[in-house]
Structure 1
Amino acid sequence: MMSGGGNINDVPAPGDLPSPPEPQGPSRKTVSSKSGSSAVPVYADIDTERAVIAALMIDPSCISTVVSILGGLASAQPPQDGRRKKAAADPENLKKEMFRNLAGMVFHDLKYAAIYEAILEMTDKGIAVDILSLTSHFERIKRLDVIGGQDFLIDTQAAIASTANIESWCVNLRDYAMLREMIRTCSGALDMCKNFPGNIKSLLDSVESEIFKVRNRFVQPEIRELRTLLEETFQTFMDVIDRKIEPGLPTGYPVDHLIGGGLKPGEMFVLAARPSIGKTAMALNIVRNIVMKDIGGIRKNVLFFSLEMSAEQVTQRMLCTEAKVPLSSIMDRNLKPGDIQQLTQAISRMKDAHLFIDSTAAISVFELRAKARKINDQQKLDLIVIDYLQLMKSGEPAGNESRQVEVSAISGGLKKLAKDLGVPVLVLAQLNRELEKGQSAKALPKLSHLRESGAIEQDADVVVFLHRNRDDAKEQNPEANRAGVEAKLIVEKNRNGKTGIVELKFFPALMEFRTIEHRYSDSDRSPEGKPAENTPK
């Protein structure tokens, strides 16, 4: 890419100034190549760069707004290679190098980059910023003539009449800087693709990681003032009390009373159990309770990542549970009168559900987050469900790290996803075999039984165990299908609420968990086709 009439390879390192400076072409226009046969766009808005510098010279208090959008020392990148070691020996030199890198990244015109670097350095030292102090600064470092002298500073300050639009100018500058960094990153990715070592998955993860670094470099965490947060928090409390909003996304089970009203945005919920206890069934029951009805007057959007089953298998389970028709009856061609009608009625009801299913096996945390962000941009997600954590990959290049380290990275990535998107993330997880070794059948799971990593319990806001006697739920047991099998939801960790146990009934033929308080309706029947009984389930 050419910029201002020269090849990008000829541009000095960030912060270094040409001598003498070449005239800058018009902003947002194209420049011709040497042959005159083509034109290359300048990915910058020089007028806006001039306006931002002028605003800082006219009103130095604008620095807080500028730094909050464009970044200051906290977001500056440290020098690399030998320059980093040399600078690290002197904290002041390290600061200067980081300011220089930041200014060179944000400003395309090297003169304005040098002025912004000087303003950052002077502000950090508590020196007032104006034409005289800037002139003195550049004279001291022998660069005043390189930027165009004091006349250039005076002309720059006179470029605007007001600083009222400083915020929009900074956003514009940040977007162009991000675009330029993306171009550099993608150029590097192209080179990586041409010389990839043969592991295509590792290559994809590396490219994706570099792209995420560009985003994280420019998107700064929002710093909030307590006074504003208190007002917003009190208003939220009043809306909950007046039933204008729900405190969380209700699961449809009494566990909501323990976890503060349901699944809350930005939090990570872990549902863990041993194999064949019913983790997936429980997750799909929760999803069905959410997507099959209006909550707060609207249908909620749920994204379900199924690493163990195909999208078709997930759909089969949900349809049979909703229709109250055992899947085994369909596969055995042993349908009862009315089963087809119940299936078609269930399909009609489920067509209004906003559920998205991704069945990618062994998905990496990077790929999962990218897919979740894409769906969330198209239509705001209300819940993300992952079945299950131990089947995921971290996405980091293969090394000597243990599986525990990899699971820790996955868990941390999922927690970050919940916070970044502001949605609850329900993560299914397996328990290790220690629960079944040398203990009675009544032994309950503990946090230490979470398989492969203690980081799961640390990252999770809520940890719930699903527990029951696996042998009681064999499908050939008529009593299990008629009256249900006793099961428990154990809230073992709750960062913002209570812990406790919720009693449930599990119906294996329908793969459905129900609350003890549930009573059959007139339209319900048992899986064997017997008349419904008004008994707890």
Structure 2
Amino acid sequence: MAEPLRFPLEADPSGAPVLPHNVEAEAALLGALMIDNRLVEDVQLKLRPDHFHEPAHGRIYESILKLAERNMIANPVTLRPMFEGDQALKDLGGPAYLAQLTGSGAALIGARDFAAQIYDLALLRALIGVGREMVEKAVDTSESVDPKGQIEAAEVALYRVAEEGGEQGSVKSFGQATRMAVEAAEKALNSGGHVSGVTTGLDSVNAKMGGLHNSDLLILAGRPGMGKTSLATNMAYNAARRLVRDQEDGIPPEKSIGAAVAFFSLEMSADQLATRILAEQSGISSENLRMGKISQADFRNLARAAQDLEHLPLYIDDTPGLTIAALRTRARRLKRQRGIGLIIVDYLQLLTGSAKAAGENRVQEISEISRGLKTLAKELAVPVMALSQLSRQVESREDKRPQLSDLRESGSIEQDADIVLFVFREEYYVAAREPKKPVDGDDAKVWEQHDQWSRDMERVFGTCELLVAKQRHGATGRVRLKFEAKITKFSDLAEDNYSSIPGVDD
């Protein structure tokens, strides 16, 4: 196809700039479509009526599409009744103008080029519109000045124009889809650990889920104190570290099962998250790190770990009170600038929706947020993991293992998610019910109760269950992990990998 022409801004006699357009190309394309209706199939996926600069041309194009959808011939004769009362068309010559458009059969040869040119010029006009709005808002100081808000709004508007100029739609031939599936299978084969997505760094979790898959929304939920943030931080570090290691081995990013990570922390600050990762890698308690209770040897280990992590492709945004729109804008920017392959949000309930949704009710606002996160995952083709709180009804049950119905505030979270994971540490609940410590003189029952509690603690100490309660790509089940609370580190448990969740069909 010929290189689409680009028209510079000209000026009309009054001196005002004229928006880029080519009315002759619009007329030629309409004539070609009326001569050969089969051309409609080639242009309708990309070109819309509002892409035409001349409004009458846009209405003619829209009428041609309507007739084509009804399997009717679209020509000057069938279109004429639709424009009998159209004043703008009368100014161009009336219904006879439709016949004039078909006067040049040569337009058939360049119809696709004309369509591409009309489309490109429409993008330029949209870009000019965004620029004008940016300037008008920036110079208007009559209302409250919010430069950062204006920048985010401008980024959203520019991204819409950029999306418009990208590949249209997401229609793929079966051949394309098949090739993508084969490439994913090849990636899993070459990974050595049967991982087709981004690695979690935990072999037992990878074995259950195949890694974190592109375009998936994963919900990682649990009650406070279960270790949600710790597990998410571990996975973020493992994915980023694997990418670095693969690059050192000469493996290109698209073949790596690692990924650059964007971590949106709405609850903790960036330095608090960094402290957790440093604690995990140096083996020093995060509490001791914060309070400075470390030896010189510990400090050397800390400095060594910090040096190793200096160039880790893990980007932390700890801006509080983000809206879902602002988060999406920032994620797109990181994708463009840093090539991120995994997004983690800690946590979903701290995001806010649009003003409209917020004014309705919290359930609808959460629904908007979960839909927005799923859309973001598909749009950027990366896994998005959102942490979520659970309702208190978990605490009222004898079996504290979470269920899908425990997801807080909206059933849309369960509906929009491709995978739902629950973090459950029985140790947390067993430790909380410690009986009175027996002393000399206490009866046998007191000693027996404490002995039983000690045995229960020994059974669950340092372990955790990751419950896969929903998975579109495979079976549900349970993965048992080791958890070192001192350094907030999750790792594989040597004794087994995973088993079924009681009461859940695999």
TM range (shorter): 0.7 to 0.9
CA distance in 2 between partners of 1:131 and 1:157 (Å): 14
Written as runs of structure 1 = structure 2, the 5 A alignment for 1:258-277 is 258-259=208-209, 261-277=210-226
Q: Look up the SS of the partner of 1:375 in the other structure.
A: helix
Query: Which residue of 349, 352, 369 maps to 1:410?
Result: 369
Larger fraction in helix = 2
Match status 1:233 vs 2:181: yes
User: Does residue 487 of structure 1 match 2:464?
Assistant: yes
Q: Which residue is 2:127 aligned to?
A: 179
Quick one: distance in 2 between partners of 1:511 and 1:176?
52
Q: Deviations over 1:368-427 (max 9, x none)?
A: 011111111223221000000111111233665222221121111111111111110011
- The within-5 A match list for 1:362-381 is 362-381=321-340
Query: Could you say what secondary structure the match of 2:355 adopts?
Result: coil
What residue identity is the alignment partner of 1:334?
K
Are 1:389 and 2:348 an aligned pair?
Answer: yes
Structure 2 counterpart of 1:325, one-letter code = I
1:288 correspondence with 2:244: no
Q: 1:406 to 1:121 in 2, by over 3 A?
A: closer
The alignment status of 1:306 with 2:265, answered yes or no, reads yes
Instruction: State the TM-score, normalizing by the size of structure 1.
Output: 0.72
Aligned partners of 1:70 and 1:218 also within 8 Å = no
Aligned position for 1:69 = 46
Measure how far apart 1:364 and its partner are.
0.7
Check if 1:146 corresponds to 2:105. Answer: no
Aligned partner letter, 1:304: F
SS at match of 1:222: coil
Q: How far 1:514 sits from its partner (Å)?
A: 1.6
Q: CA deviation at 1:239?
A: 5.3
- Equivalent in the alignment of 1:251: 200
Is 1:322–1:346's contact at 8 Å kept on the other side of the alignment? yes
**Identical-residue share of aligned pairs (%):** 30
Distance 2:384 2:353 in 1: 17
Residues 331-480 of structure 1: matches in 2 within 5 Å?
331-397=290-356, 400-437=359-396, 439-440=397-398, 442-468=399-425, 469-470=427-428
Partner of 2:62: 117
Amino acid at match of 2:477: G
1:70 is displaced (CA, Å) by 1.6
Task: Kindly report which structure 2 residues correspond to 1:93-132, keeping only aligned pairs within 5 A, or say none.
Answer: 103=49, 105-130=50-75
Contact in 2 for aligned 1:389/1:427 (Cα 8 Å)? yes
Assess if the C-alpha contact under 8 Å between 2:42 and 2:112 holds in 1.
no
SS of the residue corresponding to residue 69 of structure 1 reads coil
C-alpha distance in 2, partners of 1:409/1:461? 16
Q: TM-score normalized by structure 2?
A: 0.76
CA distance in structure 1 between the partners assigned to 2:227 and 2:148 by the alignment? 32
User: Could you tell me how far 1:428 is from its partner in structure 2?
Assistant: 0.4
Superposed CA offset, 1:45-103 (max 9, x none): 435434433442453212112110024xxxxxxxxxxxxxxxxxxxxxxxxxxxxxxx3
Structure 1 pair 28/453, CA: closer, same or farther in 2 (3 Å)?
A: same
The secondary structure found in structure 2 opposite 1:292 is helix
Supply the distance in 1 between the matched residues of 2:137 and 2:293 (Cα, whole angstroms).
57
1:496–1:429: structure 2 CA closer, same or farther, 3 Å change rule?
same
Name the residue aligned to 1:97. none
Closer, same or farther: CA 507–516 of 1 in aligned 2, 3 Å:
same
Q: CA deviation at 1:211?
A: 7.9
The total of aligned residue pairs comes to: 449
Q: How does 1:16-35 map to 2 (within 5 A)?
A: 28-32=8-12, 34=14
- CA displacement, residues 229-285 of structure 1 (integer Å, 9 cap, x when unaligned): 3454345445544659941111012122222x1100000111111112211111101
Instruction: Classify the secondary structure of the residue corresponding to 2:482.
Output: strand
Q: Equivalents in 2 of 1:239, 1:329: separation in Å? A: 41
Q: Name the Cα RMSD after superposition.
A: 4.0
- 1:417–1:473 distance in 2 versus 1, CA, 3 Å: farther
Give a deviation string over 1:260-315, Cα, whole Å, max 9, x none: x1100000111111112211111101111111123762462110000011112111
Spell out, residue by residue over 1:6-40, the C-alpha distance to the aligned partner (whole angstroms, 9 max, x if none): xxxxxxxxxxxxxxxxxxxx954311453x4xx41
| Residues 184-203 of structure 1 aligned to structure 2 (within 5 Å) | 190=137
Equivalent position of 1:223 in the other structure:
171
Distance in 1 separating the partners of 2:294 and 2:190: 48
CA contact (8 A) 2:344 2:384 kept: yes
Q: Contact 1:275 / 1:430 at 8 angstroms: preserved in 2?
A: yes
Tell me how far apart the structure 1 counterparts of residues 146 and 110 of structure 2 sit (CA, whole Å).
55
- The answer as to whether partners of 2:195 and 2:207 remain within 8 angstroms in 1 is no
Cα distance per residue 1:472-518 (max 9 Å; x no partner):
789xxxxx99x962211111111221111111121122111121129
Distance 2:66 2:314 in 1: 52
State whether residues 27 and 47 of structure 1, in contact with CA within 8 Å, keep that contact through their aligned partners in structure 2.
Answer: no
* Structure 1 segments unaligned to the other structure (5+ residues): 1-25, 72-102, 475-479, 519-537
How far has the Cα of 1:199 moved from its partner? 11
